[in-house]
């Protein structure tokens, strides 16, 4: 395993799949997760414990998590939308749980039919449940501030609202906070300003992570801006999978392989073997022939004389 | 006209067209230039004075330049590959000439069959010719350091070679220097480092401009990095037109409308009306139905509540 300066968390098997038309067979999901772990991706969000009747894609969540839990060196992450999902995830052996809380009231009502305050109350109960687990290693809980950079329903989201939610989640016992640009509204100035504010409020040592979409093309520029103000944990999806059904033609998450290329070319070690990562893209997506893929480095190829910092054996 | 913090120079009618399969009718080129000028783009590279037998696309260079010269408030730029082209451009009334000089010897030999030193000698002669013009306003001469961030033939390009070429061009009488990432190899760290070095060598007040391609997806991140170290002049093309024939599927220049969106959303005034700019894209490219277009903001739309800083009447 290589030393790494940043943690790239692949969220494709969750964020990338939740809007795809077709069910990705469990075997293909497992092969994807295994192959990316072998390329040096040590954190992967593998599924969502959302009710299968809402998103049938995740009917096999427990099975996929069990597979991921058995991969040495991998920290699987699961998304948990509510208390019931948290119970299911813990029962299935989840070691790192991400709970999204919409800072935008409009988005919160539309997404989970709760006010932001009600969603935070649920988070407090989930944090208590996580703390009460009788395990050698307590599961980690991440509070994800959704729509932190703006909302397609509400428009502008006040930075003080983000601060308030982030503080409440840490207060409840979150081990880390993520700021998520759910609808691709963020710009680099805003990214720097908001991460600095949240860091100042939560303390230098508290783990604050970034989740960017590339809907308006600024995904990598925003990641660069976040890196410049000290962020070291980034979500992304292979092939940028995860286009939004409400913005047809617009791309999805930040593209993992392009993000890895940006960092490695800057001299920032990701621990990820970019050559192997591109191979994963090329093979895995045979299982998702209808999905729209994005990304540049897989098409253009690595620069002549490019020296990757991170390579696997 | 709005005040602007950065100058976005549209280079689509030159860089975007030089590799397209089909001739764009002169009337369509003129309409494009007029429409973009009306959207607030005050600098446009309108043509190349390359021999028409090499690139037939520019057989109408003088006619297109004459049209652009008549647009109030617009500074048309022309590309000049050699002394003969410089003579033709000046005879046609060029007011701002860009001369590319490849820092990579391999690229220089392949592109103009001259060593970099021979190309610089030509530049000296062109600078003398420009200086000798009997005009009220002397034409401006820009020395563009091509392959400044790497070369697909040579691989790595030494930063000291870039410095040496930049100094020689200023010495010869260049009014500005451009650092061009001709093949899309640049990364943000390198961009900051090289622009800082060149600025230190050429002096704080000397105009140093940026020309990025988006071949490997880092175009906007590189523009952000350059902005952060004081660069205020950026080339780009509408729709990212200008894919490289040697890298099929890879995208071309930085996308003008995405670059404008990035800056305006950051609070950096471009002077350009992004709504009108997107309209230009949608109408102009009816004249280039086979060209591959890129870009995000035209598909995703502006964020809800977005307040552009720059608008035309």
Q: What is the pLDDT of residues A213-268, one digit of tens each?
A: 999 999 999 999 999 999 999 999 999 998 766 555 567 899 999 999 999 999 99
pTM of the model: 0.96
Average pLDDT value for residue range A65-92: 98
Closest among B155, B214, B143, B215 to B179, alpha carbons compared = B143
Closest among A45, A36, A102, A20 to A287, alpha carbons compared = A20
The shortest CB-CB distance from B247 to any of A151, A220, A300 is to: A300
CA distance A137 to A124: 20
pLDDT at residue A2 in the model: 56
Q: B247: which chain A residues are within 8 Å (Cβ-Cβ)?
A: 299-301
Chain A, window 253-282: residues with a beta carbon less than 8 angstroms from a chain B beta carbon: 255, 258, 261-262, 265-267
Q: Which entry of A86, A145, A151, A244 is annotated as an active-site residue?
A: A244
pLDDT at residue A3 in the model: 81
Q: Are B262 and A184 in contact (CB under 8 A)?
A: no
The shortest CB-CB distance from A262 to any of B184, B215, B221 is to: B221
Does A156 reach chain B within 8 Å, measured CB to CB?
yes
pLDDT at residue B293 in the model: 85
Residues 6+ apart with CB under 8 A from A230: A195, A199
Q: B224: which chain A residues are within 8 Å (Cβ-Cβ)?
A: 188, 221, 224-225
pLDDT-based confidence at residue B1 (cuts at 50, 70, 90): very low
Q: Which helix (H) or strand (E) holds B145?
A: strand B140-146
Q: Say whether the ipTM exceeds 0.90.
A: yes
Q: Are B166 and B201 in contact (CB under 8 A)?
A: yes
The shortest C-alpha distance from B186 to chain A (Å) reads 8
- B265-274 pLDDT tens trace: 999 999 999 9
Instruction: Calculate the alpha carbon distances from B252 to B42, B125, B193, B215 in Å.
Output: 22, 32, 24, 6
pLDDT at residue A245 in the model: 60
Decide if B156 and A305 are in contact by the 8 Å CB cutoff. Answer: yes
CA distance A208 to A198: 8
Q: B296: which chain A residues are within 8 Å (Cβ-Cβ)?
A: 214-218, 250-251
Q: A152: which chain B residues are within 8 Å (Cβ-Cβ)?
A: 303-304
- A95-152 pLDDT tens trace: 999 999 999 999 999 988 999 999 999 999 999 999 999 888 899 999 999 999 999 9
CA distance B184 to B189: 14
pLDDT at residue A247 in the model: 55
Decide if A250 and B220 are in contact by the 8 Å CB cutoff. Answer: no
pLDDT-based confidence at residue A172 (cuts at 50, 70, 90): very high
B86 is catalytic: no
* pLDDT, chain A, mean: 94
CA distance A310 to B134: 59
Instruction: Calculate the alpha carbon distances from A278 to A272, A275, A283, B186, B251 in Å.
Output: 11, 5, 9, 20, 18
The shortest CB-CB distance from A188 to any of B190, B255, B266 is to: B266
Structural domains of chain A, ranges and CATH numbers in brackets = 7-300 (3.20.20.70)
Q: Which of A149, A182, A296 to mutate to test the interface with B (most CBs of B within 10 A)?
A: A296
Does A220 reach chain B within 8 Å, measured CB to CB?
yes
Q: How many CB atoms lie within 10 A of CB B243?
A: 23
Q: Are B30 and B279 in contact (CB under 8 A)?
A: no
The shortest C-alpha distance from A148 to chain B (Å) reads 14
Query: What 8-state DSSP symbol labels residue B195?
Result: H
Buried b or exposed e, range B108-118, using 16+ CB within 10 angstroms? bbebbebebee
pLDDT at residue A287 in the model: 87
Instruction: Calculate the alpha carbon distances from B167 to A99, B201, B202, B236 in Å.
Output: 55, 7, 7, 25
pLDDT-based confidence at residue B19 (cuts at 50, 70, 90): confident
Half-sphere exposure of B209 toward its Cβ, with a 13 Å CA cutoff?
Answer: 24
- A23-42 pLDDT tens trace: 999 999 999 999 999 999 99
CA distance A190 to A209: 15
The shortest C-alpha distance from B242 to chain A (Å) reads 14
Q: Mapped to the 3 state alphabet, what secondary structure does A73-117 carry?
A: CCEEEEECCCHHHHHHHHHCCCCEEEEEEECCHHHHHHHHCCCHH
The shortest CB-CB distance from A189 to any of B188, B266, B300 is to: B266
Per-range mean pLDDT, top range of A155-159, A281-285, B250-254: A155-159
Percent of chain B topping pLDDT 90: 86
- B229-283 pLDDT tens trace: 999 999 999 999 987 665 555 678 999 999 999 999 999 999 999 999 999 998 7
Decide if A303 and B150 are in contact by the 8 Å CB cutoff. Answer: yes
Closest among B268, B193, B226, B306 to B5, alpha carbons compared = B268
Q: Are A244 and A6 in contact (CB under 8 A)?
A: no
pLDDT at residue B197 in the model: 98
Percent of chain A topping pLDDT 90: 86
Residue of B nearest to A301 (CA): B216
CA distance A259 to B223: 16
Q: Which of B150, B216, B229, B247 to mutate to test the interface with A (most CBs of A within 10 A)?
A: B216
pLDDT at residue B272 in the model: 97
């Amino acid at each position: 395993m290589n030393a790494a300066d940043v943690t790239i968390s692949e969220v494709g098997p969750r964020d990338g799949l939740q809007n795809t038309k077709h069910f990705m067979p469990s075997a293909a999901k497992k092969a994807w997760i295994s192959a990316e772990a072998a390329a040096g991706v040590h954190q992967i969000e593998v599924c969502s414990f959302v009710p299968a009747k809402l998103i049938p894609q995740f009917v096999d969540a427990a099975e996929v998590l069990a597979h991921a839990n058995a991969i040495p060196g991998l920290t699987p992450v699961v998304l948990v939308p509510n208390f019931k999902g948290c119970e299911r995830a813990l029962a299935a052996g989840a070691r790192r749980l991400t709970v999204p809380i919409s800072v935008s009231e409009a988005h919160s009502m539309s997404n989970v039919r709760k006010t932001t305050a009600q969603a935070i109350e649920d988070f407090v109960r989930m944090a208590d449940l996580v703390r009460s687990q009788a395990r050698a290693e307590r599961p980690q809980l991440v509070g994800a501030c959704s729509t932190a950079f703006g909302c397609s329903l509400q428009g502008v989201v006040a930075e003080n609202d983000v601060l308030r939610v982030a503080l409440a989640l840490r207060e409840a016992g979150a081990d880390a906070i993520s700021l998520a640009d759910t609808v691709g509204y963020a710009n680099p100035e805003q990214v720097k300003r908001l991460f600095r504010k949240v860091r100042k409020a939560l303390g230098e040592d508290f783990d604050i992570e970034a989740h960017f979409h590339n809907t308006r093309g600024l995904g990598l520029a925003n990641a660069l801006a976040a890196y410049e103000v000290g962020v070291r944990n980034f979500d992304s999806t292979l092939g940028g999978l995860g286009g939004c059904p409400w913005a047809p033609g617009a791309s999805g998450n930040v593209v993992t392989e392009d993000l890895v290329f940006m960092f490695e070319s800057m001299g920032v070690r990701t621990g990820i073997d970019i050559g192997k990562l591109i191979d994963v893209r090329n093979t895995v997506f045979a299982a998702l022939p209808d999905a729209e893929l994005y990304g540049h480095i897989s098409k253009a190829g690595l620069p002549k004389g490019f020296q990757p910092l991170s390579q696997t054996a």
